[in-house]
Amino acid sequence: MKKLLSIFLLVFALFISAGAQNNSSFSAYKFVRFIQYLSGNYVDTINVNQLVDDAIIEILGQLDPHSIYISKEDVQAMNEPLEGNFEGIGVEFNILNDTLIVVNPISGGPSERVGIMAGDRIVEIDGKPITNIGLKIPDVHKLLRGPKGTRVDVKILRKGVSQLLDFTIIRDKIPIYSIDASYMARPGIGYIKINRFAATTEQEFVEALEKLEKEKMADLIIDLRNNGGGFLNSAYELASYLLEPGKLVVYTQGRNSPRTDYFSHFRGRKPFKGRLVIITDEGSASASEILAGAIQDWDRGIVVGRRTFGKGLVQNQLPLPDGSMIRLTVAKYFTPTGRAIQKPYKMGDMKDYYSDLDKRYSRGEFFNQDSVHFPDSLKYTTLVKKKVVYGGGGIMPDVFVPLDTTYYSEYYGKLVRTGLINQFAITWVDANRELLKKKYPKFEVYNKNFEVTDNILDELYSYAESRQIARDSTGIQTSKAELKLQLKGLFAQSLFGSGFYYQVTNEHNESFIKSLEVINNWTRYKHLVQ
C-alpha cells in the first residue's frame, strides 16, 4: 500500500510543483484517499497496481500526444537505442521457419570474436533446444542478452558442417549505431545517413566526417529521412560541426520552463565549410527538425525533400518508485528564427494528431508543393539571406521532391507488410553465400556486375506463394524494377554490411538524385544559401 501511495503522491506532486492551482494538493489527497478506500473496502479482489498504471495512462492521454507512461519492463528497451548500446552476444538475427538465423555478427563483438558467421543457425542455448518452440524476438533477447562478462553456451548448425558446433560466448557491451551509412556518393561528395540522435551520434558523425575527408570530400549530403529524433544535445552538438561557433541552434521554452538557448560551439575541430544538403521527409522529427531548422535558418545549407513531421515538444523522463517512468512534456522547441516546430494538436485527441500524415497524403502534399499551405501569420525570414520560411508544423524544404508511388502495387504492399522481401533475401543469400563471396569478393565488384535476374524474382514469387500470397501479374509488372532494386540492396546488406544497402538503393532514390543535382548545379540554387 505504501508503494501505491508513493506513486500517486509523486504523479500529483508533478502538477503541484509545476505551479498548479492551490486546490491541486486537495485533489491529490482526494485521489489517494479514493485508492485507499478501493484497496481496503472493495467487495472483490482487484489488481491495484494495474489500476494505478491505467490511471496514469489515462491522465497522460488527456494531455499532449507525446507525454507517455513507460512500464518498468519497457524502460530498458525504450532507452537502449538512445543510450547507444546494450549488453549481449552481438549478432543481427532473424527468425525464419521457427529457426534463429544469424544475419551478421556485429563487427568487433563477442560473437564475431569466437568465430560465429553469417548464416549460422543457433539451435541450442545453455543446453535448451530453441527450434520448433514458437520462438519470438523477445524470447531471443531474454536468452542472449545479459550483463557484460556473463557466459552463454550455444550450439550452431552451419551449412556444410555435419556436426553441431559448440561456442562459448562472453557477453559484452554491444554498440547500437545511429549512422547507417557513410560513403563517397560521387568524387568530392560525401553522404551520411543518420537514423537517430543518440548518445553516440556525435562520435560516430565525427568519425564519418574524418573518414570522408580522407577520401577528399568537399561537399556533404546528410540524410535525415525517417529519423524520428532522439536527444536534443546530440542534434545541437552536430550543428556545431556545421555552423560557426556562437550561432543559436535551437531554444526551448515552456509555461514553467524559462527560455534556454543552445549555441554552436567549438568541438575540437573547425566546422565543415563545404556545400551542404540536408534530406528530410515526413518521417523526420524532433531532433532531425532541430538540425534541419538551424541549417535552414542560418542559410548554411539547402534542405531537400518533403515537409518534416512537426514534433517540437520537449519531454523530461521522470522516474516512478517501481522502476517505471513517465515522459512528460515540459517545453517546446523553436528554431533560431523563432519558428515553433510543433504542429497543432488538441489536448487528448491522439487519433486526429497521428492521422495528420494521412491527411497530408490525401491533400496531395506528398506529391505537389503547391498543395502545402501556410498562413501568413506563420511567415518568418532567415537570418542571413532573409528568404521566407514558415513555422507552425515541421520544416518545409527549400527544394521539394514528390513522393514516388509509381512502383507501388497491392502485391508489393503485401510483400512489404509481411516482411517477406527481407526474409527471402536472407534465405537466398544463405543458400548462395559461398558462391557470391567467391564471385564478388568486394562490394564494388558486386555493385557493378551483380544483377537480380527474373529467375531470382520467380523464386521470390514462389516463396511468397508458399506463405499464402498469390501471384499478381499486374502487381508484379508494376513493382518489378523496385523489387529488383530492393533485393540487390538487401543482398548487399547481408554480404557486406548494413550501409551497403543505401549505396545500392540511393542511386534510384529521387531525393538523393536531387541532392546530387543541387550540389553539382550550385549556382542555380545559391540564392537559397549564404
The C-alpha cell of 13 is what?
506532486
Catalytic pick among 155, 193, 247, 311: 311
Average pLDDT over residues 219-233: 94
Catalytic pick among 24, 203, 257, 315: 315
CATH number of 85-175: 2.30.42.10
pLDDT at 80: 65
pLDDT per position as a tens digit, 504-530 = 999 999 999 999 999 999 999 989 887
Average pLDDT over residues 209-216: 97
pLDDT per position as a tens digit, 262-277 = 999 999 899 999 999 9
Contact 118, 494 (CB under 8 A): yes
pLDDT per position as a tens digit, 71-123 = 877 776 666 666 667 788 988 888 877 889 887 788 778 888 888 887 889 99
Average pLDDT over residues 295-310: 96
Q: Is 511 a catalytic residue?
A: no
Q: Is 315 a catalytic residue?
A: yes
Q: Is 214 a catalytic residue?
A: no
Which CATH number does the domain 179-318+330-403 belong to among 3.40.30.10, 3.90.226.10, 3.30.470.20, 3.40.50.720?
3.90.226.10
345 vs 58: CA distance, rounded Å? 18
306 vs 398: CA distance, rounded Å? 9
Q: Provide the whole-model pTM.
A: 0.84
pLDDT at 1: 44
Contact 149, 179 (CB under 8 A): no
519 vs 122: CA distance, rounded Å? 47
- Please report, for the chain, how many H helices and E strands are present, in that order: 19, 21
What DSSP state is assigned to residue 96?
E
Catalytic pick among 286, 486, 511, 515: 286
Dihedral Cα 390, 394, 396, 402, nearest 10 deg: -150
170 CB neighbour count, 10 Å cutoff:
13
342 vs 114: CA distance, rounded Å? 48
pLDDT per position as a tens digit, 39-67 = 888 888 888 888 888 888 888 888 888 88
Domain regions of the chain by residue span: 2-61, 85-175, 179-318+330-403, 410-497
Domains 85-175 and 179-318+330-403 share a fold: no
pLDDT per position as a tens digit, 480-511 = 999 999 999 999 998 998 899 999 999 999 99
H or E element, residue 503:
helix 499-505
